[in-house]
Amino acid sequence: AQKVTQAQTEISVVEKEDVTLDCVYETRDTTYYLFWYKQPPSGELVFLIRRNSFDEQNEISGRYSWNFQKSTSSFNFTITASQVVDSAVYFCALSEEGGSQGNLIFGKGTKLSVKP
């Protein structure tokens, strides 16, 4: 069965702190994609990143970085020097593109509050 677990329901930090959002996934497929989406209070899901299962290289984009480890089935997301505008719900998602049509399986999300 495919499953995405985001164990942290809510996280609160003070501006400029670093914060890591955890994501653990389960899948039987060898070919799959992992995603992170941001959902600000306005409601629209904003795509942040996609990684395929064959690329374990970590990625950095500005203050955002992602750590993909197949050995622990984890795809964690770190925000460095957090800002108030980072406050949102963050979703990790899995797509088994190899076998299905690519519908996303989401975790329950982690609500991040960044206080000034």
Partner 1 sequence: DTGVSQNPRHKITKRGQNVTFRCDPISEHNRLYWYRQTLGQGPEFLTYFQNEAQLEKSRLLSDRFSAERPKGSFSTLEIQRTEQGDSAMYLCASSLQSQPQHFGDGTRLSIL
Q: Which residues bind partner 1 (CB under 8 A)?
A: 4, 35, 37, 42-47, 50, 91, 93, 97, 100-109
What is the closest distance, in whole angstroms, from the C-beta atom of residue 71 to partner 1 in the complex? 25
- With vertex at residue 59, the alpha carbon angle to CA 112 and CA 104, rounded to the nearest 5 degrees, is 60
What is the closest distance, in whole angstroms, from the C-beta atom of residue 36 to partner 1 in the complex? 11
What is the closest distance, in whole angstroms, from the C-beta atom of residue 67 to partner 1 in the complex? 19
What is the closest distance, in whole angstroms, from the C-beta atom of residue 108 to partner 1 in the complex? 5
Nearer to partner 1, 67 or 111 (CB): 111
Torsion of CA 9, 51, 104, 41, to 10 degrees: 50
Nearest Cα to Cα of residue 26 among 56, 55, 53: 53
Q: Rg of the chain's alpha carbons, rounded to an integer? A: 14
Nearer to partner 1, 18 or 26 (CB): 26
Query: How many CB atoms neighbour CB 74 within 10 A?
Result: 16
Nearer to partner 1, 46 or 81 (CB): 46
